Copies of this chain bind each other. A is one copy, B any other.
């Protein structure tokens, strides 16, 4: 086993966020469950865009945000995801590369356009997402470089990838390559509604050892085990996977391993401007620490720090260099 060239390679939906502030009653009128991520078709995308207010366009995508965070900590990161060769596809490619992430996936020259997520941010900072997957859903096994995966400490997969059929195969292929090279595979459950759609298959991935490390928030944990009791959920998770981190917003994060559980506090935030990317950036800090073999509690603090940075402004990618921020807070990077 050679030394890894990458700390983390992410595989996920390559998405440009179209982000607008809105009032709560807009969500009610549009029948959008607050805080959820819904998949939409092109017609619905057009209708939502026509109804929503002035927006900004900013590169997003859950695993893409995470690897940008890893790079901002000073880690070596790569990404596989599918865009089309159109204006938004070029925006996505520019931004992820400019953030220092290796991104070599070829854009599609035909077919649906680059994926967009229409993100409505309410005055409380909560975000409600409607995602048109477009080109992203055509990511397939052929887009995954075996060499790159074999050279990455961690391959990180987003649960959202379980929605497009081809992406599932890419996901499983990457996991096989990673394990054949004695690397780790991490998964985020992504969204409670996503867990609802794929509960059985997600549990299978945990129980059959496809996944070594799982990220979930409280709602996703409750959805996964169909329980309203946090302790029950944690106990189940502990049996199903070697390592898990459950994030609980301002209540901090719980590290769940075979050794037991450990609670790590959140970093205080003056005002939540836009919650988009909180989970993605928590994962960035934890994965960076995990790849660098830091203690789990330190890794979780790095995650909490990155999450605090990203929710204090608009957009799901860090504005500050996270390695600087970590040093200012006495954390090792």
Contact = CB atoms under 8 A, between A and B. Distances in A.
Contact of A98 (B52, B91, B113, B319): B52
B57 A57 contact: yes
**Interface SS majority for chain A:** mixed
Interface in A63-90: 68, 86-88
A94 B57 contact: no
Contacts of A91: 55, 57
A128 B87 CA distance: 23
Contacts of A98: 20, 52-55
Given A21-B319, A49-B94, A88-B87, A56 B58 contact: yes
A96 B53 CA distance: 9
A49 B93 CA distance: 11
Contacts of A88: 87
Contacts of A68: 54
Interface in A36-67: 49-50, 52-59
A113 B86 CA distance: 12
A314 interface: yes
A55 B16 CA distance: 12
Q: Which size bracket describes the interface of A in this complex?
A: 20 to 34
Contact of A54 (B20, B52, B54, B95): B95
A296 interface: no
A95 B55 contact: yes
A285 interface: no
A56 B55 contact: no
A277 interface: no
A53 B58 CA distance: 13
A127 interface: no
Contacts of A21: 319
Contacts of A52: 98
A138 interface: no
A315 interface: yes
B53 A56 contact: no
A99 B21 CA distance: 12
Contacts of A56: 56-58, 315
B54 A317 contact: yes
Given A21-B319, A88-B87, A319-B21, A99 B314 contact: no
24 contacts: A20-B98, A21-B319, A49-B94, A50-B94, A52-B98, A53-B99, A54-B59, A54-B68, A54-B94, A54-B96, A54-B98, A54-B99, A55-B91, A55-B94, A55-B95, A55-B98, A56-B57, A56-B58, A56-B315, A57-B58, A57-B91, A86-B87, A87-B87, A87-B88
Given A54-B99, A87-B87, 9 more contacts: A53-B98, A53-B99, A54-B94, A54-B96, A55-B91, A55-B94, A55-B95, A56-B58, A314-B314
